[in-house]
């Protein structure tokens, strides 16, 4: 191994150690250990929404097969294996579209902000209604424990008939 | 055939004739003859948007495989066989979600309004940039020729580099 190669390897190892120490491994969410599900961007559409206020984003909710079938059939609680993906983008007006439309009225998805996953496992996540959560920015798990704790703290306020899920299926 | 069966058959035949006469066959759009593509609700998400103003809807854009690949790879013009589906829903605030959120800020998809399809066939639709259009309410083709003519009249105003398509892919 040359000096250059040795230096390069050391830099890589230090970077990995630093990432591991900071929790920024890009792999699993804190507390729940939720990872980015492979191929989630190919999943089917559940619904769309806009959250104004601090987040000011526009969203798509996708579901894996188990989630999609449960949404379509109204199965509650959601079966184990359900994964719901919430993709959020900067909410922005589109001057490009508004030039063509009769009035300024077009709002579109800008850069992605984050992707959140809700994973149903009634045994593993028994303490949080059967749900585990993760939030990812550019594929990297957000390492904040307070952030991840806020997921169920908010979802648990929903009517129990929803099984702690905000989204309704849009046909 | 009994009298009851004969009556039933006659009623069905009259209903079909009336539907055909009104153009409400539920089958193909005027001018372009675009039909609802089988299984389009299973297609992949291209992007989301909100149109304020008269439509006041929230939208998801889906693509068949050819469309999705072209969006992802930036292929322009879109290849023949591309079909883009635009699903629109009533844009409405969600008191249910706002009860749980820190402030009233949640806007969701209400009832579906209509689904529009853009179909690329550079030979068949050569007069309209290679695109044919259809709009469907509850699966029934909107029979209005002025409405369907307004599709390309608007899309044609876009920059030619877009190949007359409003949507951009959201990762």
Query: What ipTM did this prediction achieve?
Result: 0.86
Domain count, chain A: 1
The string of DSSP letters for B55-69 reads: T-EEEEEEE-HHHHH
Counted across chains A and B, CB pairs separated by less than 8 A come out at 112
Q: Region A113-139: what's the mean pLDDT?
A: 98
CA distances from B168 to A114, A137, B157, B162 (A): 18, 20, 16, 9
Backbone angles phi, psi at B95, to 5 degrees: -60, -35
Please list every residue in chain B whose beta carbon sits closer than 8 Å to the beta carbon of residue A164: none
Q: Which residue has the tokens 């526009």?
A: A58
Question: Residues for chain B: how many in total?
Answer: 171
Within a domain: B18:
no
Residue A103's pLDDT band (boundaries 50, 70, 90)?
confident
Contact criterion met (CB below 8 Å) for B157 and B37: no
Domain with A33 in it: what CATH number?
Answer: 3.50.70.20
Backbone angles phi, psi at B117, to 5 degrees: -120, 135
Residue B123 distance to chain A (closest CA, Å): 26
Residue B54 distance to chain A (closest CA, Å): 9
Q: How far apart are CA A61 and CA A84, in angstroms?
A: 7
- Say whether B99 and A157 touch across the interface (CB within 8 A): yes
- Say whether A49 and B101 touch across the interface (CB within 8 A): no
Q: Region B154-171: what's the mean pLDDT?
A: 97
pLDDT digits (tens, 9 = 90+) for B21-55: 444 456 899 999 999 999 999 999 999 999 999 99
Within a domain: B36:
yes
- Say whether B47 and A108 touch across the interface (CB within 8 A): yes
Within a domain: B171:
no
Within a domain: B149:
yes
Q: Region A66-89: what's the mean pLDDT?
A: 98
Within a domain: B15:
no
What range does the domain containing B48 cover?
27-162
Within a domain: B114:
yes
């Amino acid at each position: 191994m040359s000096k250059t190669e040795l230096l390069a390897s050391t830099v890589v190892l230090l970077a990995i150690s630093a990432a591991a120490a900071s929790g920024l491994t890009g792999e699993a969410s804190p507390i729940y250990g939720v990872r980015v599900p492979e191929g989630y961007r190919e999943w089917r559409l559940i619904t769309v929404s806009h959250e104004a206020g601090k987040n000011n984003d526009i969203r798509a909710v996708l579901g894996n097969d188990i989630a999609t079938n449960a949404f379509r059939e109204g199965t509650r609680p959601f079966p184990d294996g359900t994964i719901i993906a919430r993709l959020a983008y900067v909410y922005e007006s589109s001057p490009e579209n508004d030039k063509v439309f009769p009035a300024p009225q077009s709002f579109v998805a800008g850069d992605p902000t984050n992707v959140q996953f809700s994973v149903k496992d009634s045994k593993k996540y028994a303490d949080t209604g059967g749900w585990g959560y993760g939030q990812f920015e550019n594929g990297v798990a957000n390492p904040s424990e307070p952030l991840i704790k806020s997921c169920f703290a908010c979802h648990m306020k929903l009517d129990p008939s929803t099984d702690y899920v905000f989204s309704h299926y849009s046909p």
